[in-house]
Amino acid sequence: MALLFLFWCTLFCFAVDSFSISSLVSKELYHSIFLHKDDNACPAKDFYTYESFIKASKCFPRFGNTGSLATRKREIAAFLAQISHETTGGWATAPDGPFAWGLCFKEEVSPQSEYCDSTNKQWPCYPGKSYKGRGPIQLSWNYNYGPAGKALGFDGLKNPDSVSNNSLIAFKTAFWFWMTENKPKPSCHSVMVGRYVPTKEDLAANRTAGFGLVTNIINGGLECGIPTDGRVADRIGFFQRYASTFNVDTGPNLDCQYQKPY
């Protein structure tokens, strides 16, 4: 099954050019959203190109192409908000405001560990490699690098630096994480397009659909179940800015302060 998916993804990415989210995110809009990403102050200067963003998105044709126009725009806004927080270089008094500084970093600065879960035997760590955060979604841990690499056609365990050395691979990992269900977690995509169906455990944990649940999926263990967490507020700030840019509402349940992490 994994080999079939890899074959499909490779075939689709390079042989089909029918759908593109460029109809909703033009090059001009992309650069106005990420206003400072190519400033000299940003370590990822010139890395996160519009061309790589669009090309990577074509590997995942359901992204930004599911549901009504408002739903499509809201999902794109949510995705851009989450990757902006993960890679932000902004600060409270930054030029143009703190939410104009997404895509400033391509890898985690001063990681506290190698992010190696040695108990995971399916995706064993390769000696001397770090699975710190890299790319737009800050992909982390061997159990994410391994399956991401297998799905996308690179060796995530032996060559995790591919995510911070190759702009196209970097964006592909972000879309892969967004679109992939990892039980018990649903995919971020299913949440944002209204296809998330909570289990009994989800209901007991107050994991209701909305942008806050997406934050829970991405980093709930550190940010959710905590009243007024600043990191959650930062994600929401980006989302509100981008939702306004796309002229859509954000929907309910923006935070995850009363949600139990997965």
Catalytic annotation, residues: 86
Tally the C-alpha atoms within 13 A of residue 100's C-alpha that lie toward its C-beta. Answer: 12
* DSSP helix/strand/coil, 88: coil
Rg (CA), the chain: 17
From CA 173, how far away is CA 145, in angstroms rounded?
A: 9
H or E segment and range at residue 203: helix 200-204
From CA 187, how far away is CA 192, in angstroms rounded?
A: 9
| Tokens of residue 40, six digits | 């000299």
- Write the DSSP symbol of residue 185: B
